[in-house]
Amino acid sequence: MDRRWPSHWPPHLLFLLLSFISFFDLGSGTGVFRVQRKYTDRTHIADLRAHDVRRHGRFLSSVAAGAIDIPLGGIGVPTETGLYYAEIGIGTPSKSYYVQVDTGSDILWLNCITCKHCPKKSDLGIKLTLYDLNSSSSGNIVSCDESFCSSTYGGEIPGCIHDAPCQYTVLYGDGSSTTGFFVTDNVQYNHVSGNHQTKIATASVTFGCGDQQSGDLGSSAEAVDGILGFGQSNSSMLSQLASAGKVRKMFSHCLDTKNGGGIFAIGHVVQPKVKTTPLVPDMPHYNIILKSIQVGGAFLNLPTDIFETGDNKGTILDSGTTLAYLPELAFKTLMNAIFSYQPGLSFHTTQGFLCFEFSGRVDDGFPKIIFHFEDSVELPIYPHDYLFTTGNDYWCTGFQNSALQSKEGKDMILLGDMALSNKLVVYDLENQVVGWTDYNCSSSIKIQDDISTAVYTVDAHNLSFAGRLEIEGFIPFLMATYLLFNFFL
């Protein structure tokens, strides 16, 4: 989900709305869904899920299949692109599209040729392409009486007239939205065929053709061609490929904040090995169970209900979010613990970030943080991950107070790229577990092809374009200076 930082940083990262699906606008004879997504810095797509497959997941994929290498670009650091995107080919003849990869949402959608207010250019330096159904010989509109439509929306679409398109609307936490209709077309992907080798393969996938974008989705800051949701629901590309027997329902990412890009692969990773923690059943996102937080050697003294899972509570992994968000009490306790290592600092708020001047290596001056999860799985976050610099020894912290984002999200713990990067993160949806290990995301992993049982090396990628964003206006405006303890208590 969210995940994206506009080059003009918003004063408040609105990130969370209740996720719900409801019908409206039925007069046109097609079901339009108002889908609000849960947690986002900004643009998570919504969740079209009917609570479904998790229990069946592990039985689904015994017939599958090979591995897919998805080339990645971007850097999930606020001062750079703030997001990761993948390149995929769609249509016949195939064209390349650059889509943000998002584990916090389900569907794949692209800006469509019929689009009003779609971005024409991107500050990311990506060449944008609008999807043109009429110029693809393999593309078809999905009508509201097709099974994809009814199963996505959990039943027949009221008022559906034969041949009317299956529509969708997604509303984001920042007030932007995308509306369009579903199409089915060929997606081309890199099937892993040997060590460091891929072959082009094709599968038919249903995705959204976005013809009306509003808010920031229509602007060129951070514009991409669409969003590729890696959620668990049947509507995701991953689920569609798995049910077609092309892949197992397993994927992994390694998001590289050092060199950009990284690894994004579908398939069964055999190397490196990771320790896993269970996914919370029947949740729309990748919820896991946080037990405690350790800073330096010391555990934070926090009430245990702060870690409970429930509606608008709990801990979520989200590659579509750039930063990490904690409930206010956890945030303040964490900040006090971190900055007790440097009692002399004075703080400034710059565009909503808590910043300070520091010379020297942050990894020497600040503590390592460890999030402890169910089954004794640890997620370490190092100072160079949770602090980012704008240059000139000016540093800011990537942790954010959830309470400042939105009312509904105030109790959420949302771990975005800041917490997930420079690690191989494995999502094994067949066994309903996720796991990770510190990893060099510029290197390679080994994936097993379940057809031949061969093990193949899959390399990192760094899709490169014009390069860095010009971030304007991130000068350390010293709008306010506080002593630490005045500020947090």
Ligand X SMILES: *[C@@H]1O[C@H](CO)[C@@H](O)[C@H](O)[C@H]1NC(C)=O
Residues that bind ligand X (CB under 6 A): 50, 52-53, 56, 60, 73, 113-114, 133-134, 151, 234, 243, 259-261, 440, 442-443, 462, 464-465, 467
Active site residue 318: yes
Nearer to ligand X by Cβ, of 64 and 334: the residue is 64
Given the residues 102, 185, 225, 411, the one annotated as active site? 102
Nearer to ligand X by Cβ, of 60 and 454: the residue is 60
Nearer to ligand X by Cβ, of 106 and 216: the residue is 106
Give me the half-sphere count of Cα atoms (radius 13 Å) on the Cβ side of residue 6.
19
- Report CA 360 to chain centroid distance, whole Å: 32
| Distance in Å, CB of 306 to ligand X, minimum | 32
Per DSSP, the residues of 71-118 read: -EEEE-STTTT-EEEEEEEETTTTEEEEEEEETT---EEEEEEEEES-
| Distance in Å, CB of 216 to ligand X, minimum | 22
- 122 to each of 44, 81, 85, how far by Cα in Å? 18, 11, 13
Nearer to ligand X by Cβ, of 76 and 260: the residue is 260
Beta strand 95-102 with 226-229: parallel, antiparallel or unpaired? parallel
Given the residues 318, 417, 449, 450, the one annotated as active site? 318
Tokens in use for 90?
Answer: 């769609």
3-state secondary structure of 7: coil
Q: H or E element: which one contains 57?
A: helix 57-60
With beta carbons less than 8 A apart as the criterion, state whether 88 and 70 touch: yes
| Distance in Å, CB of 436 to ligand X, minimum | 17
| Distance in Å, CB of 413 to ligand X, minimum | 28
Q: How many Å from the N-terminal Cα to the C-terminal Cα in the chain? A: 31
Sheet with 298-299, side-by-side order of all strands: 298-299, 290-295, 369-373, 377-381
Tokens in use for 488?
Answer: 């947090």
With beta carbons less than 8 A apart as the criterion, state whether 144 and 160 touch: yes
| Distance in Å, CB of 113 to ligand X, minimum | 5
Nearer to ligand X by Cβ, of 53 and 107: the residue is 53
Q: Report, as residue numbers or ranges, the catalytic residues.
A: 102, 318
